[in-house]
Amino acid sequence: MRDIRVRYQGTFLSFIWWVARPLALGLVLYFALGRVLRLDIPNYSIFLISALFPWFWFSGSVSGATGSFVGNAGLLKKVRFPKLVLPLSSVFFNTVQFFVTIPILVGLVLAAGIDPEPMWLVGVPALVALQLLFICGLGILLATLNVFLRDLGPTVEVVLLLLFYVSAIIFPLDYVPSEFEPLMALNPVAPLIDAWRNLFLYGEFIDGAIWPTLVATALGVVLAFAAFTKLERYFADAL
C-alpha cells in the first residue's frame, strides 16, 4: 500500500498509468511489425497485448524484488521485521497492477471479435497462481543473492531485456527455427507467455509444453528459501 501511494500520489490519471506502458509498447510493436513489416499473424494486436500484460507483471516484479533488500538497507539494520516482506511487497505491488489490467485485456479481446470462453474461468486463476509462485521464488532468490553480489542487479536488467526478445512475445513459438528449439525449451518464460496467449486467443488451457515453467517454479521456490534461510543472518554485515 505504501508503494502504491508513493508512486501515484498526486497523479491525475492514477491507475491509468498501470496500463499505459504495455498499451503504448503494444501500439508501437503493432505498427512496426504488424503494419510496416506485415507479419502474417491473425489478431496481431491481441496477440501482442495478451503477452505484454503478463510480461510487464513478470519483469516489474523480478526487477523490483532484486533490489528490495539492498534498497532498504537502513531499514533492515534498524528495525526487526520479517525480511521477506520486502521482496514480496514488490511482487504483490506488481500483481495488483496486473489484476487491474485483466478486465482491460478481456475488453480488448471481446472488442476484437473473439468470443469469451468458459476456460477463462479456470485458466486465468491457474496461470495467475503459477506465475505468482514463479516470480516469488525467483524474486526472493535474486534479492538474497544481490545482497552479496551487487553486480547482480544490473545483470538482471540486461537479462530481462534479452528475455523480452527471446520469450515469444512478439512472435509465435512455432516461428522459432528448429535448431534453436532446444534453447527455447530452456527458457521458462516463453511457455508461460504462450499459455496466456493461447488462453485468451483460442480458449486453450495449459498443456504439456509448460513443463519448463513448472520445473523452474519448483526449483526457484526451493532454492529461494534455502538461500534466504542460510544467508539471512549475514545481511546486516553485507549491507
pLDDT classification of 207: cutoffs 50, 70, 90: confident
pLDDT classification of 11: cutoffs 50, 70, 90: low
Q: How confident is the model at residue 74, as a pLDDT?
A: 81
Q: Which amino acid is at 227?
A: A
Cell of 238: 553485507
Cell of 230: 542460510
- Checking if the pLDDT of 12 tops 60, the result is no
Q: How confident is the model at residue 95, as a pLDDT?
A: 92
Q: Could you report the per-residue pLDDT of 153-164, keeping only the tens digit for each? A: 899 999 999 999
Q: How confident is the model at residue 4, as a pLDDT?
A: 63
Q: Which amino acid is at 80?
A: R
Q: How far apart are CA 107 and CA 124, in angstroms?
A: 15
- What is the percent of the chain with per-residue pLDDT over 70, rounded to a whole number? 90
Q: How confident is the model at residue 177, as a pLDDT?
A: 80
- Contact status, residue 76 vs residue 236, Cβ threshold 8 Å: yes
- Checking if the pLDDT of 109 tops 80, the result is yes
Lowest mean pLDDT among 12-16, 71-75, 179-183, 212-216: 12-16
